[in-house]
Structure 1
Amino acid sequence: MTTKLHAVVDAIGLPLRIKPTPGHYGDCPQASSLLSGLKGVGHVIADAAYDADHLRAFIASDLKATAQIKANPTRSSVPTIDWRLYKERHQIECFFNKLKRYRRIAMRENIDRIHGVRPSRIRYDLVALNADRP
């Protein structure tokens, strides 16, 4: 059994929301629940796994933001993307790289706890992860 961690980070890479799901769940269906209710969002930057028309519509209508999502290679009509903004996606990659320092989360050990019994452990590790930031 595998697990995925879906996360939303701000412009400087600090985590806003994190959601663990079973490994066989798709990425895109998790996005709207993670993004709903966020305030002050200007751009949503995501990789091709999140490329779907319904997500782009949700971002435009509910968040009043622009979607900077790399097009899925199988898409026939490719939406425009601001590649300068898309480069900021490295913030989420850096976040997951730092998260790997904490083996318990990176290797998904004690998966039953991650799925709800002890979510405070994830929060504690996320606080510790950002304690050394300037």
Structure 2
Amino acid sequence: MTRRRYELTDFEWSVIEPLLPNKSRGVARVDDRRVLNGILWRFRTGSPWADIPERYGPYTTCYNRFVRWRKACIWDRLLQAVSEAYDGDIIMIDSSYVRVHQHGANGKKGDQDDGCMGRSRGGLTTKIHALVDAEGGPIDLRLSAGQVHDSRPADDMLDIMRANTIILADKAYDSNAIRAKAKERGAWANIPPKRNRKASVTFSKWVYKQRNAVERFFNKIKQFRAIATRYEKNPLNFLAAIKLVAALVGIRSL
């Protein structure tokens, strides 16, 4: 059988399969690879769940298994397995806006913040925060409302810092707290200073050029239309989708 576009290659499946649940109760479940291909088809095209082609089985099976495995932390485990391949001394952090589709917007007024949605210049948006390695491989991912400042989620995400780590980030992350945390851990925050910064800081433009890896990471995950535009009302489902896609991007870079 010829592999269709968007579907997992044999190598990708060989990495993912051991991380999936291998025990099922009662009736044997539908083939995992087929269902996962259906889930990825949905995220790649941005189509409604109900439009998943019949060759991947009932769309309800794809949706229910995606949510069930999200609750079982399968997608977290997959991302963690990919991120463990990181063994370098350069990490980079950045964020990217995602427009919230009208189908993804919460119906009740005032609920946007709870769903990681907020008003910014682009309208109703969600912000994806990503921490990646020198090759653009995912390490950590978070969501926030669109108007949340980049430095707020960065504090927890940068806990991975260790001695001799180099942190690359743009001016939005130029805060005394981040620089102090890096210094305390023996790391170097190579972040361009804001214009209003009075104290001088060490900054290398040559090293900073490597920061485009995190921008390439966002470009890759946003090739999946359901990531580039948010259709999910539930922020946990949206973050799980990003983790699945990011893990796949990481596997393809191996």
Fold in common (TM above 0.5): yes
Distance in 2 (alpha carbons) for counterparts of 1:105 and 1:40: 34
Q: How far, CA to CA, are the matches of 1:14 and 1:34 in structure 2?
A: 15
Alignment of 1:72 with 2:72, yes or no, is no
Note closer, same or farther for the CA distance 1:40–1:27 as it changes in structure 2 (3 Å cut): same
> Aligned pairs, how many?
131
Q: 2:125 aligns to what?
A: 2
What's the secondary structure of 2:129's corresponding residue?
strand
The 5 Å alignment of 1:9-88 reads 9-39=132-162, 42-61=165-184, 63-88=185-210
Shift in Å, 1:100: 1.3
* Pairing 1:123–2:243 present: yes
Partners of 2:250 and 2:178 in 1: CA distance = 29
Q: Which runs of 5+ in 1 are unaligned?
A: none
Q: Which amino acid aligns with 1:81?
A: F
Specify the code of the residue in structure 2 equivalent to 1:129: V
Cα distance in 1 for residues equivalent to 2:198 and 2:161: 31
Partner amino acid, structure 2, of 1:122: I
Computing the radius of gyration from Cα coordinates, the structure with the larger value is 2
SS at match of 1:24: coil
Cα deviation for residue 117 of structure 1 reads 4.1
Aligned partners of 2:176, 2:167: CA distance in 1, in Å? 14
Give 1:36 shift. Answer: 1.2
Residues of 1 paired with 2:238 and 2:209: CA distance? 34
Q: 1:107 aligns with which of 217, 229, 240?
A: 229
CA contact (8 A) 2:131 2:157 kept: yes
**TM value normalised by structure 2:** 0.48
Distance 2:165 2:250 in 1: 23
How far off its partner does 1:126 sit?
1.3
Q: Which whole-Å deviations, capped at 9, do the CAs of 1:71-125 have from their partners, x for residues lacking one?
A: 1233233422011211111111111111110111122221x33x22454322221
Could you say what secondary structure the match of 1:30 adopts? helix
Identity percentage of aligned residues: 31
Query: Which aligned segments of 4 or more residues in structure 1 are displaced greater than 6 angstroms?
Result: none
Could you tell which deviates more after superposition, 3-12 or 76-85? 76-85
State the TM-score, normalizing by the size of structure 1: 0.86
Measured in 2, the distance between the counterparts of 1:116 and 1:38 equals 26
CA gap 1:128/1:48 in 2 versus in 1, 3 angstroms: same
How well do the aligned residues superpose, as a CA RMSD in angstroms? Answer: 1.9
